[in-house]
Amino acid sequence: MATASATPTPATPTSASAAPGEGAVRLGAGGAGLGVPAIVLMIIAASAPLTVVAGGVTTNYAVSGLTGVPLGMLLLAGGLLVYAVGYVAMSRHIRNAGAFYAYIARGLGPEAGVAGAWTALVAYNAMQIGIYGMLGFTASSFVTAKTGAEIPWWAFVLVTIALIAVLGVNRVDVSVKVVGVLVALEFVAVLVYDVVSLAVAPEGVSAAGFAPGDLLAPGIGVVLVMGIAAFMGFESGAIYTEEARDPVRTVPRATFTAVIVIGAFYAFSAWAMLIGSGPSATVGAAQENGPDLLFVQLGERVGPIVADLAQVLFISSLLAALISFHHAVARYAFALGREHMLLPSFGRVNGRGAPALGSLAQTALAAVVVIAFAIAGAGSELGPLYPVLTLFTWLTNLGALGLIVLMAVVSVAVIGFFARDRRGVGAWTRLVAPAIAAAFFATVTVLTLANWNLLLGEAETGFLTFALPGLLVVAAVVGLAIAVQAKHRRPHAFESIGTGAVPVARADAAR
C-alpha cells in the first residue's frame, strides 16, 4: 500500500506527486512573512479573551458553583503546554496549511488524515458560524438599549459576514493588522476590569480560587469542560506554517507563547473577578447577572461610559475570533483541494496568495446557516435570546467537541510519526508528552459528552444530544470514504495525502 512518506518525492515526469516548494501551490504568494507576534495575535484572537472573561468565566462560576475556576484555567493551560510539546515538534518537520490533516495523515495513515481533515472542516465551521449568534444578539441588544432602534440580530451578522468576506480573499497579513488592534483593545478592557476588581475586593485580596479544595469537588468536570472551550483556537498556529517567515522557529514559539499568555491571563482575570465580587458572593452574582456581570460591575465602579466601551469591545472581540476561524476554515479547504481530497479548485490561490475559493465557500455557508436560523427563529418563544441559545450554543459546543477529539487523535499521531523516525527527538517529546496529552484530551472528551445536555441547555436527552456529535461522525466517514476511493481509483492523489504536494498522475495510471 502506498502511503505518504516523511519526505515528499520531488516532481518528475513519472512521480506521483510534486513536492512542496517544487511546483506545489503554496499560500502567501510573494510571502506573507508572518512572524511570532502576528501568529500569536491570530491565535489569541480565536480564543477571544474579552469574550472568554465576560462570558465563559462568568458562566463557569454560575454553572459549576465552584470558586476554583482560576486553578482550573492553570491546569488546562498546563495540559495544553504538554500537548504542544509533540504538536510543535511535528510542525518543525511538516509545513502544511491543513495542520491536523497533515499531522494525522503522516502519523496514522492517509485515510485517518482525510477523515480528520473533514472533521476539522465541520468543527472550525461550527465554531465560526456559531459565534455569529452571539455577535448578532450582542450588537442588536446594545443598539436597542442606546438608541431605541430595534434592528434584528441577523442584520448585524450579514454585514459582518460581508466584511469578513473581503478580508478572507486578501493576504492574511491584512487581517493580522485588523486583529492586532482588536486584540490589544480587548486586553486593555479586561485589565481595567481586573485592576478595578482587585482595588474593590469586598472580602480582601487572598489566594481564593487557587486552593485545591476550591476545585476538587462535584462540578470539577464542568469547570474543565467549559474552561477548555476558552482555549479553542490555540492550535491554529500550525495552520500558518506556509505563510510564516521561519516556520521551524516561528510556529513553535508562537504556540507556546500564546498558551502561556492566554492561560495566565484567564487565570488572573478569573481570580480578579472572584476577588472583586467576593469569594462568598461570586457564584451568586454570576448566576444573577450572567455574562453581564463584568459590564454591570464596570458601570457601578468606573462609570457607564467605560461599561459601554467594554460592550463595544466585546463585540469587536467576537469579530476578531470570527476572522481567525474564517482563515482556519479556508486553509483546511485549501489543503484538501490541493491534494484533490476536495474539489481541486479549492487548492488554488488568487493573485494575493489567499485561498479565495475556500474563503468564499465559508462565507456562503455562513450566510445560508444564519439566514436559516433567522427564519426558524422568527416569532420564537425564546425571544431576543434565540440566536444565543440555539446558533451560538449548539454550534460552538459542537466545534469545541470536534477540536478536542482531534487533539486527542493528533497526540497519538505524534507518537506514530516519530516511531518511524525519531529524527533526534527525545523520549519526552516523541512519546511521554504526547501520551499524557492523548489521555488528557480523551478524558476531557468523556467529560464533555457526560455534560453534553448541560452544555446545550437541554433538560433531557433528545434529538440534539445525538444529532450534533453525529455531524462529526458523518464528516469523518465522508473523509474516510474519499480517501479509500482515492486509494483504489486515484493512487496518485492518495500518495499525496498529507504531503502538501499537488497530485500528478503517472503515465500508466489509467492502465
Mean pLDDT estimate for the chain? 88
> Helix H segments across 201-347?
212-215, 220-229, 247-277, 282-289, 293-301, 304-338
Q: Is residue 114 within 8 Å of residue 482, measured between CB atoms?
A: yes
% of the chain beyond a pLDDT of 90: 65
Interatomic CA distance for residues 340 and 39, integer angstroms:
27
Judged against a pLDDT cut of 50, whether residue 23 lies above it is answered with: no
Q: What is the pLDDT averaged over residues 222-236? A: 85
Q: What is the pLDDT averaged over residues 413-430? A: 94
Its pTM stands at 0.87
Long-range contacts of the stretch 507-510 (C-beta < 8 A, 24+):
507/13, 507/14
pLDDT at 71: 97
Interatomic CA distance for residues 435 and 226, integer angstroms:
23
- For 268, other C-beta atoms within 10 Å of its C-beta total 18
Judged against a pLDDT cut of 60, whether residue 3 lies above it is answered with: no
Question: Is 30 domain-assigned?
Answer: no
Provide, for the chain, the percentages of residues in helix, strand and coil under a 3-state DSSP scheme, each rounded to the nearest 5.
75, 0, 25
Q: What is the pLDDT averaged over residues 270-298? A: 94
Which residues 6+ apart lie within 8 Å of 170 measured at CB? 352, 354
- Please report, for the domain that includes residue 115, its CATH number: 1.20.1740.10
Confidence of residue 2 (pLDDT cuts 50, 70, 90): very low
Q: Which domain holds residue 394?
A: 36-494
Question: Is 14 domain-assigned?
Answer: no
Confidence of residue 398 (pLDDT cuts 50, 70, 90): very high
Three cell numbers, residue 316: 469587536
pLDDT at 303: 93
* Lowest-pLDDT range of 129-133, 181-185, 206-210, 322-326: 181-185
* Lowest-pLDDT range of 346-350, 369-373, 406-410: 346-350
Tens of pLDDT, residue by residue over 310-360, are 999 999 999 989 998 999 999 999 999 999 999 999 998 888 878 999 999
pLDDT at 77: 94
Which residues 6+ apart lie within 8 Å of 264 measured at CB? 77
Sign of CA dihedral 185, 367, 240, 88: positive
Q: What is the pLDDT averaged over residues 146-154? A: 94
Judged against a pLDDT cut of 60, whether residue 4 lies above it is answered with: no
Judged against a pLDDT cut of 90, whether residue 269 lies above it is answered with: yes
Judged against a pLDDT cut of 90, whether residue 183 lies above it is answered with: no
Question: Is 268 domain-assigned?
Answer: yes
Interatomic CA distance for residues 233 and 245, integer angstroms:
21
Question: Is 368 domain-assigned?
Answer: yes
pLDDT at 182: 86
Q: What is the pLDDT averaged over residues 259-272? A: 95
Q: At 218, give phi and psi (nearest 5°).
A: -55, 130
Interatomic CA distance for residues 286 and 7, integer angstroms:
53
Question: Is 481 domain-assigned?
Answer: yes
* Lowest-pLDDT range of 24-28, 115-119, 222-226, 447-451: 24-28
* Lowest-pLDDT range of 22-26, 187-191, 243-247, 499-503: 22-26
Question: Is 484 domain-assigned?
Answer: yes
Three cell numbers, residue 259: 498558551
Looking at the 3D structure of the chain, how many domains does it have?
A: 1
Three cell numbers, residue 25: 501551490
Judged against a pLDDT cut of 60, whether residue 14 lies above it is answered with: no
Question: Is 24 domain-assigned?
Answer: no
In angstroms, what is the C-alpha Rg of the chain? Answer: 23
Question: What is the three-class DSSP state of 34?
Answer: strand
Q: What is the pLDDT averaged over residues 276-288? A: 95
Higher pLDDT, 3 or 335: 335
Confidence of residue 503 (pLDDT cuts 50, 70, 90): confident
Question: Is 13 domain-assigned?
Answer: no
DSSP secondary structure string for all residues of 59-93: HHHHHH--S-HHHHHHHHHHHHHHHHHHHHHHHTT
pLDDT at 25: 57
pLDDT at 28: 55
pLDDT at 341: 95
Q: Which residues pair with 34 in a beta bridge?
A: 244
Q: What is the pLDDT averaged over residues 248-265? A: 91
Q: What is the pLDDT averaged over residues 10-14? A: 32
Picking from 231, 242, 226, the residue whose alpha carbon sits closest to that of residue 327 is 242
Picking from 85, 77, 4, the residue whose alpha carbon sits closest to that of residue 430 is 85
Q: Is residue 386 within 8 Å of residue 380, measured between CB atoms?
A: yes
pLDDT at 19: 39
Which residues 6+ apart lie within 8 Å of 88 measured at CB? 238, 251, 252, 255, 256
Judged against a pLDDT cut of 70, whether residue 176 lies above it is answered with: yes
* Lowest-pLDDT range of 25-39, 75-89, 165-179, 387-401: 25-39
